[in-house]
Every structure is written in C-alpha cells, then in structure tokens.
Structure 1
Amino acid sequence: MGQILTERPLPLTHRPSAGRQFLQSPTVSIIAIGAIVGVSYTLAKFAVANGIPPFAALFWQLFGATIILLAAMVVRGKRLDLSPQYLRYYIISGLLGVSGPQLIAYVVLKHIPAGLFTTLITLSPLATFMMVSVVDRQLLPLYRLAGILLGLIGISMATLSSFDAGNSGYVWVIAALGAPLLLASGNIYRNRAYPKGADPLALATGMLGSQMLLVWPVLIYRGYSFSPVDIAGTVEAAVLIIGALTAIGYILTFAVQRTTDGVGFSQVGYFATLSGIAAGAVLFAEPLSPLLFVSIAVLFLGLAVTNGHLNLPWR
C-alpha cells in the first residue's frame, strides 16, 4: 500500500498573517485595477474635452504604456515571445480588452459624464456571466450569480439616482454599451486562451505593443499632429498619466488572470465605477450620490460571494 502523505502545517512564525494573506489575494489587485480604470476614464474625458482626437489619445496612451513595459522587461532581463500562439493572443486580447473599449470611451466621453460611462462598465460582470453560460451551455453556480447581482445592486444604489441619460443623448449611451460587452468578451478570451506558464509582464507588453502598432497607421493616415512628448500643460500630462496607469493596470490584470476566472475578474467593473464617480466629482463636479458608502458595503459583499470568500449554506 502507498504511504499517505499529509501536508505539515507551517510553524506559527512562518505563517502569513491574515492581513498579509488579504494583501496577496486577488481581491486587492481587483480593487487596484478597478481604481486605475476609473481614474483613467476620467482623465480620458478630460483629454478629449480639451480637443485631443480619440485616435491620437489612444495611440499615445498605448505608446507610453508600451515604453514603460519594455523598459521593465529590459531591467528584468525578459524577452518577448513572438511565436504565432502569442501573437494571436496579443492581438485578440488587445482588441477586445484595450483598443475597442478605450476607443469607445474616447468617443462617447465627449458627450456623456465620466460617472455615467463607468456606471455602464459595471454591466461587464453580468455580461461575462451570461456569455460564459452560453459558451458552456450551462448556468454557473447560483452563488456566483447572486454575488454579481449584489454588486450590480450596490452600484445601482449609488448611480441610477444620480445620472440622467436623457440629457446626454441615448445614442451615445447605447454606443457606450459596446465597451462592457467588449470587456466581457476580453475577460473570457484571456482566461481561456491564457498561454500556460506565460509571464504577466511579457503578456501585457505584447498586448499593448500590438495595439500601438495597429493604431499607428490610422494616426498617420488621419494626419494627427498632437504629441504629449513636450509637456506644455495639464492635457499632455493627463495623456502620459493614462499611459502609465495602463501599464500598471495590465501587469496586475495578467497576474490576477492566473488566480481567478473571467467572471471573478470582471468585478473590476464595480471598482472602476466607484473610482470613476469619485474622480468625476472632483474633476468635473459631477453629482455624487449620498448612497455611495452603502453601495461600497454591498459591493464588497457581492465580490466576496462571487469569489467564494464566504461559506454560504446554499453553495
């Protein structure tokens, strides 16, 4: 008979504290990514509101992020995998998760509030859930649906009473809905096509770099002359900050993607909404719902339920 092996518990002095375990959990990274996304969308509105063309803003965002990531790869002595499998992953994940949603953002943010746009991004978790159910031809566990709906309720409490889509034009609101649908598709694709053993930094570099090369010809063809290289004011600085936030956000994205699935990761949309509302209130004096703090509590509850952090009796 084979010997039964049991895992020996770590000595108390070597066990990570509860606080450290929380900081190393996917939840913290998901919150950080959401905050980065929300602030980035608000800065994007600031950029296009001050006359920067959408394609130019998108290119320089991708350019800045790619330069930062390439520098990080050089420092760490890493190389970019350019095999067909990786190139396909870079391009498809980039179109679904970066270029498509970001271009939509730059276009519609001229016409709708940043808070309203980030509210619509909150639909990506529910869209991810529905798409996974269709692709797998089965419903996901009930507790995951309950967690997603809790998060959606939390966001709705703080936002639906604060924004009036009628004043923004329903055409632009409908167009904005393309962003969460693309993000949901990107969540599923990245999770299912994630190259085994791939380095998160290399994946982020390849994805953003591929999108930069795809947008570049359009920029040249349209003859846009805007460049933030010589910082002349806050608008140029905003574009460069978006690029830096993008680089950090996607390093975290690919790291988290290894520890949770597309549905779990899609909770980023909730935190993007909260940070977007806060940033929009500060930068554009957009209305701030008094129910925001209640929604945060409901939001965290929904995230905990969806990611299985709570032992529910009906799981």
Structure 2
Amino acid sequence: MTAASKVSVAKRATRAIVAAVAQGKPPHRLLLDKNPFRQHPSPASPSNMRQPTLSVSHSRSLLLLLAAGTTLGLTSNLAKIAGENGLPPLAFLAWSVSGAALILLVIAAVRGLLPALNARTLEYFVVAAFFTVAGSNLLFFSAVEHVGASFVALAITFPPLLTYLGALLFGVERFSTLRAAGVVLALAGAAVLAAFGLSSPDASARWILITLCGPVLLAAGNLYRTLRWPENEHPEGLASGMLITAAAMLVITGFMPGFSLAVPHGSALPYLLIGVQTGLFAAQFLLLLLLQKSGGPVLLSLLGSVGAVVGVPVAILFLNEAPPRGLVYAVPLITIGVALVAWGGMKEATA
C-alpha cells in the first residue's frame, strides 16, 4: 500500500470513529464489528460469493438457450436442403445422428463421464431416444419437403405448451391461470396455421397432421426426461447414450420396406450436409440436456421459440420459401402464448 493510500484509509477510519463517538457508540466496537480499514469484503464471505455465482449461472443458462435454439432452427432448413439434393430423410437423419453419437461418446469418455449401464439408464436411453431424437425428428425430416421448413420450425414451438398440459395431468405442475391462458393462445395459433394450411389447394392434410404429431412426441420426451432422469448421471453421458440408441433405432428402420439409408454418390454435397448436421446434432442434444439440468423447465420452455426465430427467417430469406399461410395471425398468438407460459413459470419459480 502506498503512503497516499495509507493516509486515505487513516482518514476514513478517523471519520468513522468520530461519527461513532458522536452517536454515542464505543469506538472499539466499531472497529471490531465493521473494521473501517478493510477496503473490500472478505473473499470467503458467503454474501460476497453467492451473488456472482447466481449471475454466472443465469448467464450460462441463457447462452445455452440461445445456442441450442439456434441449432434447432437451422436443422429444419438443412433437412430441406438435403431433400432437394436427393438425400432421403431417413439416411440424412440416421447418419447424422450416428456421427453425433460418436462425437458425444468420445467427449464423455475423455472426460470420464460415461454413463453407468443398468436397467434404469438403458430404459432412459430407449425411451428418450425414441421421443426426443428418432421418432420426432424422422417425422420432421420427412415432412419438411411437403410442408416447408418454416412450418416445421413453427411446429417446434409447441412442445413446451404440450409439456405443461402433460405436467398438469401427471401432477408435476400446479394449475396456473396465466400459464393456462398462454397454452390456449398458443394452441389457437397452431390451429390457425393448420386451418390455413389445410385450406390451401395444394395442401397435404396428411403431412400437416404428421408434422403436428412431432411436437407431441417431443413433449412426451420432455416429461419423461424430467421424471426419469437417472441419479448421479451427467448430461454429457446421458446425451451420448441417448444418441447411440437413437442411431441404432434409425439404422434398423432403414432395413424396413419403404425406407432407405443410401446416400447419393453423384456429388460431395450430401456428405457435406451430413457432416454439418452431425455437428449440429452433437451440439443440440448436449446443449439440450445441459440446459435442462442447469436452466430448469422455464428456460427450456423457450427453446422452440428461439428455434422458430432462427428457422423461419432463414427458410423465407435464404431458401425462398413463401411464408406459411396465416402466419400474420398465428405468430402473435404463439408468441404471446409462449411468453405467458414462461412468465407464469418464472413467477412460480420465484414465489
């Protein structure tokens, strides 16, 4: 400490002692209780440690949300590009998931986070893989060339709303008027999209309904992962096990009639698309489980909204898609609905 600093500290101490005497307080008690010579709180002070920890944790969760939502929004657009270049939906999905599973397996092994293999984790891998990865994404990837990437991106906003309804049925959530109103508004937006889509002369009712089944599977996956998360297992290990199981499911499906795992050999583009999607899937599912573990259900409920904010403009601006019919009516309903569900969840979390 410099001489000037010592003088400054001494002056502050003197003023504090004089003020204490003027108020009738013994000076020695002031020195014992408040220590005027201390310039900063003790690093070990619990009050000094608690607030930065919460701030860092909240910021980390927001970054996880933005990153995971971005990968989700780009996925539907990449699926459309793959379809336009002759890559079958199942082949694109199966080989991308297989590559992502290998990446996450290596990461988990290097970090010593490989999951235990027991009845509980094996059950988790099979059920979570079907709902969260294999079943839902096969529906979306197959539907995207029939209904458009922007419609699929909007459909991905619905799982949190359906998750809330499921949580009410299972008694995981208490009824909230605010959140229930959000669910009604958002589902009204979905109904508007579906009605306008079905009224189009070239609309495929079958593919619109198939697309809307995807969010139901994702919502079931959200509930299952929340209720059956194996104890003492890390998100990285569970993500690798879930993707390995999903890859096996998809490859087996490829041997069934009507499906193909073949990749066109005419150019390198299909392989490039699989490589990019592999990276997106590895990031997406790792971020998803990390967000579920650290951010909780409120932030997780905004994942589809972030995906739509990214996916819909990309589809319209870069893939020359026409905006889905009824978009101008549906988007405000969906946006307000999701906001009410999230706001209600925040109020409950802080109550």
Shared fold (TM-score, shorter chain, > 0.5): yes
Higher relative contact order (CA 8 A, sep 6+): 1
TM-score (norm 1): 0.80
CA RMSD of aligned residues (A): 3.7
1:50 to partner: Cα distance: 2.1
Q: Distance in 2 between matches of 1:218 and 1:291?
A: 38
Q: Are the structure 2 counterparts of residues 213 and 300 from structure 1 closer, same or farther at C-alpha, using a change threshold of 3 Å?
A: closer
Q: Are the structure 2 counterparts of residues 17 and 303 from structure 1 closer, same or farther at C-alpha, using a change threshold of 3 Å?
A: farther
Residue type of the alignment partner of 2:204:
G
Q: Distance in 2 between matches of 1:283 and 1:174?
A: 26
The reply on whether 1:110 has 2:148 as its aligned counterpart is no
**Does the aligned pair in 2 maintain the 1:187–1:263 contact within 8 Å?**
no
- Counterpart in 1 of 2:229? 194
Residue type of the alignment partner of 1:24:
R
Larger gyration radius, structure 1 or structure 2: 2
More helix by share: 2
The reply on whether 1:226 has 2:259 as its aligned counterpart is no
Q: Are the structure 2 counterparts of residues 49 and 309 from structure 1 closer, same or farther at C-alpha, using a change threshold of 3 Å?
A: farther
The reply on whether 1:305 has 2:343 as its aligned counterpart is yes
The reply on whether 1:249 has 2:284 as its aligned counterpart is yes
**Does the aligned pair in 2 maintain the 1:34–1:270 contact within 8 Å?**
yes
Q: Which moved more, 1:182-191 or 1:66-75?
A: 66-75
**Does the aligned pair in 2 maintain the 1:187–1:262 contact within 8 Å?**
no
Identity score, percent? 24
Where does structure 2 lack aligned partners over 5 or more consecutive residues? 1-43
- Structure 2 residue corresponding to 1:24, chosen from 57, 60, 64: 60
- Counterpart in 1 of 2:179? 144
Q: Distance in 2 between matches of 1:260 and 1:146?
A: 23
- Counterpart in 2 of 1:4? none
- Structure 1 residue corresponding to 2:214, chosen from 167, 179, 199: 179
1:156 to partner: Cα distance: 4.8
Give CA-to-partner distance per residue, 1:207-241, whole Å, 9 cap, x none.
0001111222332456846348x994333222221
- Counterpart in 2 of 1:3? none
Residue type of the alignment partner of 1:215:
L
- Counterpart in 2 of 1:92? 127
**Does the aligned pair in 2 maintain the 1:39–1:275 contact within 8 Å?**
yes
Q: Distance in 2 between matches of 1:84 and 1:78?
A: 18
1:62-77 superposed matches below 5 A: 62-77=97-112
Residue type of the alignment partner of 1:11:
N
Q: Distance in 1 between matches of 2:85 and 2:313?
A: 20
Q: Distance in 2 between matches of 1:208 and 1:243?
A: 11
Q: Distance in 2 between matches of 1:36 and 1:49?
A: 20
1:84 to partner: Cα distance: 1.3
1:270 to partner: Cα distance: 1.5
Residue type of the alignment partner of 2:141:
Y
1:29-48 superposed matches below 5 A: 29-48=64-83
Q: Distance in 2 between matches of 1:231 and 1:262?
A: 45
1:201 to partner: Cα distance: 0.5
1:28 to partner: Cα distance: 3.4
**Does the aligned pair in 2 maintain the 1:62–1:211 contact within 8 Å?**
yes
1:178 to partner: Cα distance: 0.8
Q: Which moved more, 1:258-267 or 1:84-93?
A: 258-267
**Does the aligned pair in 2 maintain the 1:38–1:272 contact within 8 Å?**
yes
Aligned residues: 300
Q: Distance in 1 between matches of 2:104 and 2:278?
A: 10
Q: Which moved more, 1:132-141 or 1:104-113?
A: 132-141
TM-score (norm 2): 0.72
1:9 to partner: Cα distance: 4.0
- Counterpart in 2 of 1:10? 47
